[in-house]
Structures are given as structure tokens and as C-alpha cells.
Amino acid sequence: MAGWTIRAMEPGDLPRCAAIEATAPDPWTEPQLAEELTSDFGRLFVACRDGQIAGLAVFQLAAGEASLNALTVDPAARRQGAGRALLTGALAALRAEGAQSCFLEVRAGNAAARALYESVGFAAAGVRRGFYRNPAEDGVVMALNLD
């Protein structure tokens, strides 16, 4: 998407990313993000515009399968293409690393996120009853073939 730069998250990005995550219903903390950033399986990305981080995505990649664990955009930057740019850029990077598929869970009631995921090719693959807390809600499992 125009104007957005997608890149790998760096340790210096952690405070800003944790602040963005704090706006999510079930946020990742800065120590959790730091742990994932140093994990062999963690793949974390940020969306930047004008040098400022506006969103982050947390994936894991193992045995050709990527899992999206979080995608959060700063409320002030929503509806400006950051989420789509972040998702498509991260998926391209994961595909280049050998990912053949990607899975995620999304709140059943999060129509905007579901529409975003469907627009890049994800399809519903099942439901996990009571998957989310704060507030309690079902999770829709979505899958995308990256081959």
C-alpha cells in the first residue's frame, strides 16, 4: 500500500510496539514481544510511515507453516491501509522464507478484521468456542495457502 514501509521489527521498536499493542483487547506485553523477537520461530514486522511505527504483526514460522498471533494498528492510523500493507508485506516475507500456509484466529465479532483477512485470500476453516477472553468470544480459524 502506498506510503507504508514494512520491515522486520527491531529491539529498539519494542516500547512503541508495546504501546500500540496496549490498545488491543488481549495485548502482548513488551516482555512477551521481546521474547518472541528473539525466538527461533518468531517473525515480527512493523508498518511505518514517515519514520513512525503505526502497526505490528506477530507471526511464528515453523515447518513451512506460519501462524499470525497478533496484528495491531495504532487507533490513530486505522483505516489508512496500514493493516493491509502490514499483512501483505509480512506474508510476502514469510513466503520468501518458505511458508506454504498461514493460519490465524480472529474474534467472531471482529467484522473489519475478518473482511481484511478474506480480502487477501484467507478463508474460514473452523470455530474455536470460547477461545477469547476479555471479553469472552468465539474465535474463527482462518487459513491461507501461500503456494
The burial class, CB within 10 Å (0-12 / 13-18 / 19+), for 78 is: middle
The confidence score (pLDDT) of residue 25 equals 83
Closest-CA residue to 131 (of 139, 123, 121, 142): 139
The confidence score (pLDDT) of residue 26 equals 83
pTM comes to 0.93
Compute how many other C-beta atoms are within 10 angstroms of the C-beta atom of residue 54. 24
Pick the catalytic residue: 117, 118, 132, 137?
117
- Identify the H or E element spanning 16: helix 14-21
pLDDT digits (tens, 9 = 90+) for 89-117: 999 999 999 999 999 999 999 999 999 99
Phi, psi of 115, rounded to the nearest 5 degrees: -65, -40
Q: Is 132 in the active site?
A: no
Pick the catalytic residue: 30, 105, 132, 137?
105
Q: Which residues of 20-41 are buried (b: 16+ CB within 10 A; e: fewer)?
A: bbeeeeebbebeebbebbeeee
How long a stretch of residues is the chain?
147
Determine the Cα–Cα distance for residues 102 and 127; give it in Å rounded to an integer.
Answer: 16
- Confirm if 126 and 88 have CB atoms less than 8 A apart: no
The confidence score (pLDDT) of residue 135 equals 82
β-pair partners for 140: 106, 127
Q: Is 105 in the active site?
A: yes
The confidence score (pLDDT) of residue 147 equals 85
Cell numbers found for residue 79: 483505516
In single-letter form, the type of residue at position 93 comes to A
User: Which CATH superfamily, name and number, covers 5-105?
Assistant: Gcn5-related N-acetyltransferase (GNAT) (3.40.630.30)
The confidence score (pLDDT) of residue 62 equals 97
**Residues in the chain with pLDDT < 70?**
1-2
The confidence score (pLDDT) of residue 2 equals 64
